[in-house]
Amino acid sequence: MTDGNGRSRRRFLRTVGAAGVAGLAGCSAEPTGEETTSGPTDTSEGGDPGTGTATGEPTESMADTLVVATYPPFVNAPSTSPGAWLKREFESEFDATLVYQTPDSELNYYIERAIQGVDFEADVYVGLDTGQLIDVDSKRGSGQFTDPMFAEAGDLAGADRIKQGLRFDPRNRAVPFDTGYVSLVWNATMEGGEFVAPETFEAMTDPAFEGDLIAQNPTTSTTGEAFMLHTVHAFGEDGYLDYWERLQNNGVTVLGSWSDSYSAYLSEEAPMIVSYSTDQVYASAEGQDLQKHQIRFLNDEGYANPEGMARFADSDAPRLAETFMEFMLRPEIQAGIAQRNVSFPAITGAPLPEDYAQYAKEPPESVTFTYDELEANLNTWTDQWARRFASG
């Protein structure tokens, strides 16, 4: 890819300074503050704090620039996020500058650019899930754009350590780098300290738990989608809507996003919320009462929600992108990502501290659907849910 003057994109980035990347790409990123201003070449004054980019005159040591696209909280979450730490670690070892792009619309930004036939300046996307990958393939399959968005990953060093069952891309483009498990989080201090969460999906509909659950809309929330899919797994595609009808009759509260629902939970509007089984990691770090952050795996299961990374097919730095993906799979980097992203490593053997294992709960059994199953059914299941419950 070249710009309008025929210069290579890499030369262009080094000449104008990476602080110009956000304007070039049209990203609308949130300010990231201190977490993306680390390192000697990062933006500190006068640059764009929304991308964690380098600024100033290029130097001979800046051999190349890697542009990593991701969702904003990976870089600028209000509590903790791995973005700034990964940038420091990568740049300290490799003769390269890592630049983040964090558009508010996340992967949809790049999908829309592909549909419009407009180039974008990114090499790797970090944060793919199965549904997003299906969306990419669906739009390309329907002719909305023609060229592949992502390249095959090939044989990455360290990929053989990825845990069984986490790989979700049958074409080996998206490589898992972490995972979370959707579960219930419940408050044992409510009802005078007598509240105990149910142990099964069926028990959740008991009148004793009327009005006690906060969930998320599966059409607008990844967490909500995962919980809906878990109910499909539990009751089948012919029974999950009837189960949701019973939940609705039992007073479930469905909100549009995880953040809105979690705020309601912290305000004790209900004693249970659909959230993640790593909730105690954050609660412990913040000094919160862990009795208010108990974990329950309904039916002794947790819905696995792995995140993947993939190289954009038109990357001008494919070798550097591959190096970065292998770097992300190193055991010590996997441990660092998990702790800062409040998740689980994608590989076996990541050296997590003992207290992390104490607070991060893994389910007795992991549940998920394959790419092929979701490609064939996800839109149908979600649309059926929306027609029945979205206006309720």
Instruction: Tell me the per-residue pLDDT of 323-334, one tens digit each, with 9 for 90 and over.
Output: 999 999 999 999
Residues 289 and 319 in one domain: no
How many folded domains does the chain comprise? 2
pLDDT tens digits, one per residue of 6-48: 323 333 333 333 333 333 233 333 333 323 323 222 322 222 3
Would you state the pLDDT for residue 222? 86
% of the chain surpassing 70 pLDDT = 83
Answer whether residue 306 shows pLDDT above 70: yes
**Has residue 260 been placed in a domain?**
yes
301-304/365-367 β-pairing: parallel
Residue 355 pLDDT level (bands cut at 50, 70, 90): confident
Amino acid at 290: L
CATH number at residue 138: 3.40.190.10
Alpha-carbon distance 133 to 125, whole Å?
Answer: 11
**Has residue 4 been placed in a domain?**
no
Alpha-carbon distance 178 to 344, whole Å?
Answer: 6
Answer whether residue 5 shows pLDDT above 50: no
**Range 308-345 burial, b when 16+ CB lie within 10 A, else e:** bbbbbebbbbbebbbbbbbbbbbbebbbbbbbbbbbbb
Could you tell me which residues are beta bridge partners of residue 302? 366
Residues 214 and 132 in one domain: no
Nearest CA to 85 out of 335, 298, 315 is that of 335
**Which residues have a Cβ under 8 Å from the Cβ of 388 and sit 6 or more positions away?**
241, 244, 245
Residues 101 and 83 in one domain: yes
Amino acid at 42: D
Residues 56 and 204 in one domain: no
Whole-structure pTM value: 0.77
**Which region among 6-15, 38-47, 97-106, 288-297 has the lowest average model confidence (pLDDT)?**
38-47
Instruction: Choose between 5 and 109: higher pLDDT.
Output: 109
Would you state the pLDDT for residue 217? 95
In DSSP notation, 63-115 reads: --EEEEEE-THHHH-SS--SHHHHHHHHHHHSSSEEEEE--TTTHHHHHHHHH
Would you state the pLDDT for residue 391? 65
Measured between alpha carbons, how far is residue 115 from residues 5, 120, 267 in Å?
24, 12, 42
**Has residue 193 been placed in a domain?**
yes
State the average pLDDT over residues 241-259: 96
Answer whether residue 228 shows pLDDT above 80: yes
Amino acid at 188: A
pLDDT tens digits, one per residue of 60-85: 333 599 999 999 989 987 678 999 99
**Has residue 96 been placed in a domain?**
yes
The residue behind tokens 């390269």 is 96
**Has residue 3 been placed in a domain?**
no
**Has residue 1 been placed in a domain?**
no
Alpha-carbon distance 337 to 77, whole Å?
Answer: 13
Would you state the pLDDT for residue 47? 29
Round the CA-based radius of gyration of the chain to a whole number and report it. 22
Instruction: Choose between 150 and 16: higher pLDDT.
Output: 150
What's the token pair of residue 42? Answer: 């990062």
Would you state the pLDDT for residue 71? 93
Residues 300 and 320 in one domain: no
Residues 368 and 228 in one domain: yes
Would you state the pLDDT for residue 182? 97
Answer whether residue 313 shows pLDDT above 50: yes
Would you state the pLDDT for residue 199? 98
Residues 273 and 383 in one domain: yes
Would you state the pLDDT for residue 292? 97
**Has residue 168 been placed in a domain?**
yes
Residues 205 and 100 in one domain: no
Answer whether residue 234 shows pLDDT above 70: yes
Would you state the pLDDT for residue 96? 96
**Has residue 2 been placed in a domain?**
no
Alpha-carbon distance 136 to 125, whole Å?
Answer: 13
Residue 49 pLDDT level (bands cut at 50, 70, 90): very low
Residues 210 and 281 in one domain: yes
Phi, psi of 56 (to 5 degrees): 90, -175
Residues 99 and 161 in one domain: yes
Residues 89 and 235 in one domain: no
State which residues form the domain around 276.
182-304+362-389
The residue behind tokens 């973005």 is 83
**Which residues have a Cβ under 8 Å from the Cβ of 105 and sit 6 or more positions away?**
28, 112
pLDDT tens digits, one per residue of 199-226: 999 999 999 999 999 999 999 888 999 9
Would you state the pLDDT for residue 240? 98
Nearest CA to 350 out of 337, 364, 366 is that of 337
> Please, what is the average pLDDT of the chain?
85
Residues 42 and 173 in one domain: yes
